[in-house]
Structure 1
């Protein structure tokens, strides 16, 4: 689970529409609304970004060895949309969706998190929950007592026993509430109890026809917050988890035949940013797959080697092997990218050695940086991450370097991969994932990717056996918002140059792409 720090923001609203789906197993597509928040009045240093990522990684390491435990089944459903918005590369982005729960339905804004499993929202009895948000969104509190369809999950319920096995729940006695407590790496936390209530969504019947639908959903009712979760500047109503656990929305939908256990994201790294989120089977050509490491709670792959400028780096393959506190994780919730300590040195040395001696290099807080006057594509080599099954993830310089603005006409680029001191974990975050489709196929237990223009629509498989090119929705931004955004980008670039000249941390863009949620009948 990730805790995101967000300052004042512009809110962009986007409608997600699920296209006609593969109905062989009875599933139907769903429509949800996605909200995007880009804080434009706050610049973020590299040290702070790394601290945020470490908070998330603390949660990841706590879950190692607990097993995946995902549900079976699967229906058909497709979601496709672009995400437009800020081109500011120095701001931190936060993505969240709006869900409707209870009878009558109330709207809740929840962060979307592929690194956790549970959907939880703040409840009316919450101690420490903020009552206002710097994001400009109205905060709600779920009240099971006023929703006649709400049911408390008790320790005697089978679903609670399954959650306890993976440390997602705890119990004191069989007749007590099934409770949870999540503690995050930065000291913040939440606790509460599980409930079941009605979740509302729009089902796409085809040819742009939608129908109002609903289904029971198990989610968390948080009655206590601590640490940064109590602060109003970045407050939302809760967290939406999309992991492999049977209580995740992906698994709940699959077990009831509403949607398949396949989802995708495409992070747009150029121009205005944004991207595509998909729940369904993408059939774009060129997607290569590598098997997920079995029995892991996160999306682990077997990384076998790293190649820089055509040369395999001298790294023992066991450095990347999955074991306790070791392994390679693909996680769209991580801002940067991280290499195990034994791999970091050879990687940085190989990149530095491959650059022309005419390129000026310098170090900023332990990060290798370069001043260049031509294209990074001309000066820096490609990097290939080679995975089990023969699947290679080829990185352009823009996928392993961070743009730091300009100083006296020279562009500043720094190596974006960070070292994980004292641990053998490698995490591939947004820095690496951008400008590619990533497909999380939980049914076949594999993860695939392909280079892609994330401003385009995607090709999906339908129940008829045919493929259909699904058009993306469009996000509307007012001219006044765009004017303010452009002005802040100029200011942000100036701030960035000042940071670098003082050898401080440099602001980078943190965009969180996560898959939207749908529940089951």
Structure 2
């Protein structure tokens, strides 16, 4: 998946990338029919590792010490590191008068507390978090001309959470990596400093081992197809016009035409549910899922289609098949 400020979005499972890229390796937690993708980000001076979920929200934030009610362990077998501003020589609290705080107001319920720029987020699932903004160094690897890897860093603004219920102890992570369109998103901040391109790409591996790659940079692929982002929207929205099942196109109702990229599979789930409910709710599979289930295509505006094989939208474990549906 690729986004840039030219309002383009494209999909690719295998791609080559241009030079001057920032690369993050994605890890994956897999349990039965559930996958959680996250990546490691280095913050502070000296740097420490934080494991974050990448999302379409705007702001990067990490748990900060002290953090009321935040989990101290995780079944993901990652260290639950808490950011300590006093331990980093480059850390500075963002004052409410700082121009960067005015950009924060666009992304969250920001206010002034002891002259600090604070935030409070509420997410779609009802969970939330709150804290204050700081600036500090973010460290990353850049792929330059000739595939040379260079270590680099940039001063970025991010949130330090002191209270929240967003992460659960059984699958806890250190915070969120915001990839939204606001000026405080990591994409926008690195681009404005010339540290990275104003675009990002995702490749998520769907096997049990999971993993993948998150690239801040351009995709170079001759067979890429594009669909325009809907302009003047706070989130990344595209026109999903229809879904084809085994070559038969199923138009969507108007309320499903415009969906955030994170909600595409929810649109599919609602659209195909009547078809599923008419058939057996359970299947006994003695062969490959491709012998039983049809191919599915997402058809977007601009004559762009993303074609999925059954193994791309189903998870098969032994004789059990699960339909991939977002949490």
Does TM, normalized by the shorter one, top 0.5?
yes
Q: Paired residue for 1:380? A: 293
Contact 1:320 1:340 in 2 (8 A): no
Q: Paired residue for 2:250? A: 313
State the Cα distance separating 1:142 from its structure 2 match.
2.1
**TM-aligned CA distance change 1:161 to 1:416, over 3 Å:** same
SS of 1:296's equivalent in the other structure is coil
Matches within 5 A, 1:38-57: 38=29, 43=31
1: CA distance, partners of 2:38 / 2:251: 41
State the Cα distance separating 1:242 from its structure 2 match.
1.4
SS of 1:337's equivalent in the other structure is helix
Q: Paired residue for 1:371? A: 284
Matches within 5 A, 1:213-228: 213-226=152-165
State the Cα distance separating 1:116 from its structure 2 match.
1.8
**TM-aligned CA distance change 1:285 to 1:270, over 3 Å:** farther
SS of 2:266's equivalent in the other structure is strand
Which stretches of structure 1, 4 residues or more, deviate above 6 A after TM superposition? none
Matches within 5 A, 1:349-428: 362-363=280-281, 369-403=282-316, 405-406=318-319, 412-413=320-321, 415-416=323-324
Contact 1:315 1:343 in 2 (8 A): yes
State the Cα distance separating 1:375 from its structure 2 match.
4.0
5+ residue gaps in structure 1? 1-17, 22-27, 44-89, 322-326, 353-360, 364-368, 407-411, 418-428, 430-509, 511-521
State the Cα distance separating 1:271 from its structure 2 match.
6.9
1: CA distance, partners of 2:33 / 2:276: 26
SS of 1:245's equivalent in the other structure is coil
1:194 equivalent in alignment to 2:112: no
1:329 equivalent in alignment to 2:260: yes
Instruction: Encode CA deviations 1:344-388: one digit per residue, 9 max, x unaligned.
Output: 455547xx6xxxxxxxx532xxxxx33344444344333332211
5+ residue gaps in structure 2? 1-15
Q: Paired residue for 1:100? A: 42
Contact 1:384 1:395 in 2 (8 A): yes
Bigger fraction of residues in strand: 2
Q: Paired residue for 1:468? A: none
1: CA distance, partners of 2:169 / 2:82: 14
Q: Which structure would you say has the larger Rg?
A: 1
Q: Paired residue for 1:170? A: 110
Give the RMSD, CA atoms, in angstroms: 3.3
Q: How many residues align?
A: 312
SS of 1:393's equivalent in the other structure is strand
1:282 equivalent in alignment to 2:255: no
**TM-aligned CA distance change 1:251 to 1:314, over 3 Å:** closer
**TM-aligned CA distance change 1:222 to 1:269, over 3 Å:** closer
Contact 1:108 1:237 in 2 (8 A): no
**TM-aligned CA distance change 1:157 to 1:99, over 3 Å:** same
SS of 1:370's equivalent in the other structure is coil
**TM-aligned CA distance change 1:294 to 1:373, over 3 Å:** same
Instruction: Encode CA deviations 1:46-77: one digit per residue, 9 max, x unaligned.
Output: xxxxxxxxxxxxxxxxxxxxxxxxxxxxxxxx
Matches within 5 A, 1:364-513: 369-403=282-316, 405-406=318-319, 412-413=320-321, 415-416=323-324
Contact 1:19 1:206 in 2 (8 A): no
The normalised TM-score by structure 2 is 0.80
State the Cα distance separating 1:247 from its structure 2 match.
0.9
